[in-house]
Amino acid sequence: MSSMPATQYKAIDDDTTTDTSFLRTPQLNCSDPEALRQHILAYFLATWTRYESLFETMTD
């Protein structure tokens, strides 16, 4: 995917944060489809990274 860490993606609005500790489910009622795609990508990458890090604790 992308080599940029998910925490560096820009938030779409004030209710959304890119800090993975406080990520909220994306709102899908955005009027700009490209901005929504970027937001969903950032959300996916951030949550995937967190999910994968759970398994790292088991292998260490």
Check pLDDT > 80 for residue 55: yes
DSSP three-state, residue 13: coil
In a domain, 38, yes or no: yes
Whole-angstrom distance, CA of residue 43 vs CA of residue 49: 10
Number of domains in the chain: 1
Q: Return mean pLDDT, the chain.
A: 72
Whole-angstrom distance, CA of residue 42 vs CA of residue 11: 9
Give the pLDDT band of residue 60 (cuts 50, 70, 90): low
In a domain, 54, yes or no: yes
pTM of the shown model: 0.52
Check pLDDT > 70 for residue 49: yes
Phi first, then psi: what are they for 6, rounded to 5°?
-60, -25
In a domain, 2, yes or no: no
Check pLDDT > 50 for residue 3: no
More confident site: 46 or 4: 46
In a domain, 43, yes or no: yes
Domain residue limits at 40? 31-60
More confident site: 4 or 32: 32
CA 53 to chain centre: 14
In a domain, 23, yes or no: no
Q: Which two tokens stand for residue 2?
A: 């992308």
